[in-house]
Amino acid sequence: MREFLQRTLIGALVVAFLSLLVWGALGAVEALSLALFCVLLWLAFHLYHIALLLRWLRHPGSERVPDGFGSWHMVFMTLYRQARAQSQNKKKLTNVLERFISAGEAMPDGVVVLDEHDRIEWLNPSAVEHLGLNRKEDVGNQILNLVRQPNFHAYMAADNFSQPLILRFVQPSERVLAIQLVPFDSTRKLLLSRDITQLERVQTVHRDFVANVSHELRTPLTVIGGFLETFADMDEPDPAMLKQFMPMMLEQTRRMQSLVEDLLTLSRLENSPKAVPNEKVNMDELLATLRTEAEGLSQGRHRIVCEQRSRRWLWGSENELHSAFGNLVSNAIRYTPEGGTVTLAWRDCGQKAVFSVSDTGIGIPREHIPRLTERFYRVDRGRSRGNGGTGLGLAIVKHVLARHHAKLEIASEPDKGSTFSAVFGAERLAEAERLGQP
Ligand code: ADP
């Protein structure tokens, strides 16, 4: 500003000086004419630049700032700098805003921005999916008209948003949402939705599991506790009673032991890292062991057949495969009445290989087959417990096979028998090694 005034003052002084010179040399009229001419020139100069400034003000922008002369050059340079700084700030702000919007769009949680009348101002794709909203049509509409669940209305009316609201939807698919309202900006609110369907399922499974384990342990504990109380009431334990009750107590103890062992096996399988060890499992040996075990369990009550039609071995964990196949063999023996046949087979099937256990036992009605690998699922609870079952055998089999990328196939017919097959893909098959060779 000071420079501007200085320049104007210098200009005026020069004109006055020249006019005085002309006055002295030519006379007053010439001097005044010169002064007037200079003032008009000065006015025209400024009017021209004011016009440039006005034109720029109508369409501002750093790239369109006009060029000026003299003091106007400074004015336009200052404007140019300010306009450029402003446009850079605007760009920065736009970038930040765009990043925020992209982050909001990518969030797995639903986000809806509501105005003071609970009308939708903005929503992200997860909110669209969770609450069944429409991004184009529902902006500007009241959320209460769009989410019609009575407890949602009650939550919005209650004005206490410290705890999330759990909303259950059945249509179009079963879904559980945790909804939370977060007031901000004095009038606006953020409506957040989180899909907790999976979490709820896991919690239900966990609750059922704890209930099942407690139930399984309660019976043997009650039996043992009952016997012990009887003995505790006696001054001296009756040897005849001891002899009678001891085997029953032992049986209940064994039942608890097998349950705890199976639970530990399951827990180990569930908690161990995804990949199984890559041992070369000798199937010739494993089949021979399983056969011996089957004969031990059967105690001569069944015919045990072993068909080895594949010479291939398996890549995997010998312990886990032994445990899984052993469970299938034990089931076949336990669910096959005396005189029946249990067949262990290992055969090639195209690129794949199949280990199967078939029996001529009681079989399984078709409707139970899809649920057999669930923990504690039994077709006949009494029969399973009666023959020492824990209800966890097939759950263990399922886990082990999944870890070996193998599939469990079950074919069964009531009163005819069942076949449980473990199908291994080509990537799990190994060439057999001859004895004595590495
Ligand atoms: P359990 O310890 O009860 O045998 P499993 O998980 O091994 O538990 O098996 C689940 C259920 O599947 C059993 O209770 C039984 O009803 C049925 N099942 C398993 N194997 C056979 C089989 N070979 N024949 C008939 N039913 C079977």
**Claim to verify: residue 301 and residue 263 sit in the same structural domain:** no
**Claim to verify: residue 408 and residue 306 sit in the same structural domain:** yes
For residue 141, give both structure tokens.
């509409």
Report how far ligand 1's centroid is from the alpha carbon of 357 (Å): 13
Q: Which atom of ligand 1 is nearest to the CA of 262?
A: 2
Divide the 438 residues of the chain into consecutive groups of 10 and give the mean pLDDT of each group. 78 89 90 90 91 87 79 85 90 94 93 94 94 92 93 89 90 89 90 95 92 91 92 86 90 93 92 80 96 96 96 94 96 96 96 97 96 93 84 96 96 97 95 66
Nearest protein CA to atom 3 of ligand 1, as residue: 391
Report how far ligand 1's centroid is from the alpha carbon of 303 (Å): 20
> Residue 351 CB: number of other CB atoms within 10 A?
9
**Claim to verify: residue 292 and residue 415 sit in the same structural domain:** yes
**Claim to verify: residue 150 and residue 81 sit in the same structural domain:** no
Ligand 1: list residues with CB < 6 Å.
327, 331-332, 335, 359, 361-362, 364, 372, 377-380, 384, 389-395, 418
Nearest protein CA to atom 21 of ligand 1, as residue: 331
Give the single-character DSSP code of 187. T
Nearest protein CA to atom 13 of ligand 1, as residue: 378
- What is the number of domains present in the chain? 4
Report how far ligand 1's centroid is from the alpha carbon of 55 (Å): 89
Dihedral sign for Cα atoms in the order 219, 225, 228, 230: negative
Nearest protein CA to atom 4 of ligand 1, as residue: 389
Cα-based distances in Å from 2 to 10, 81, 82: 12, 19, 19
Report how far ligand 1's centroid is from the alpha carbon of 398 (Å): 13
How high is the pLDDT of residue 435? 60
Question: Which CATH number does the domain housing residue 229 bear?
Answer: 1.10.287.130
* Site to substitute for ligand 1 among 394, 401, 410, most atoms within 8 A of C-beta: 394
**Claim to verify: residue 228 and residue 260 sit in the same structural domain:** yes
Question: Which CATH number does the domain housing residue 394 bear?
Answer: 3.30.565.10
Report how far ligand 1's centroid is from the alpha carbon of 221 (Å): 23
Residue 438 lies in a domain: no
**Claim to verify: residue 165 and residue 265 sit in the same structural domain:** no
Report how far ligand 1's centroid is from the alpha carbon of 82 (Å): 82
**Claim to verify: residue 22 and residue 89 sit in the same structural domain:** yes
Nearest protein CA to atom 19 of ligand 1, as residue: 331
- Backbone dihedral angles phi then psi of residue 205, each to the nearest 5 degrees: -60, -45
Place of tokens 């010739």: 284
Distance between CA 395 and CA 376 in Å, rounded? 8
Q: Which domain holds residue 15?
A: 2-101
Last residue of a domain, one of 140, 168, 195: 195
How high is the pLDDT of residue 438? 47
**Claim to verify: residue 46 and residue 96 sit in the same structural domain:** yes
**Claim to verify: residue 95 and residue 111 sit in the same structural domain:** no
Q: Which of 105, 107, 110 is nearest to 175 (CA)?
A: 110
Nearest protein CA to atom 16 of ligand 1, as residue: 379
Place of tokens 């009308």: 119
Nearest protein CA to atom 7 of ligand 1, as residue: 393
Report how far ligand 1's centroid is from the alpha carbon of 293 (Å): 18
Report how far ligand 1's centroid is from the alpha carbon of 229 (Å): 34
**Claim to verify: residue 351 and residue 326 sit in the same structural domain:** yes
Q: Which of 140, 163, 162, 142 is nearest to 153 (CA)?
A: 142
Residue 306 lies in a domain: yes
Distance between CA 232 and CA 158 in Å, rounded? 60
Q: Which atom of ligand 1 is nearest to the CA of 378?
A: 14
Residue 436 lies in a domain: no
Question: Which CATH number does the domain housing residue 111 bear?
Answer: 3.30.450.20
Residue 254 lies in a domain: yes
Residue 435 lies in a domain: no
- Backbone dihedral angles phi then psi of residue 26, each to the nearest 5 degrees: -120, -25
Last residue of a domain, one of 47, 76, 101: 101
Distance between CA 242 and CA 50 in Å, rounded? 118
CB 165, CB 178: distance < 8 Å: yes
Cα-based distances in Å from 164 to 146, 196, 313, 321: 19, 12, 55, 46
Report how far ligand 1's centroid is from the alpha carbon of 315 (Å): 27
CA end-to-end distance (rounded Å), the chain: 95
CB 228, CB 203: distance < 8 Å: no
Residue 344 lies in a domain: yes
**Claim to verify: residue 301 and residue 423 sit in the same structural domain:** yes
Residue 175 lies in a domain: yes
Last residue of a domain, one of 130, 163, 195: 195
How high is the pLDDT of residue 423? 97
Residue 154 lies in a domain: yes
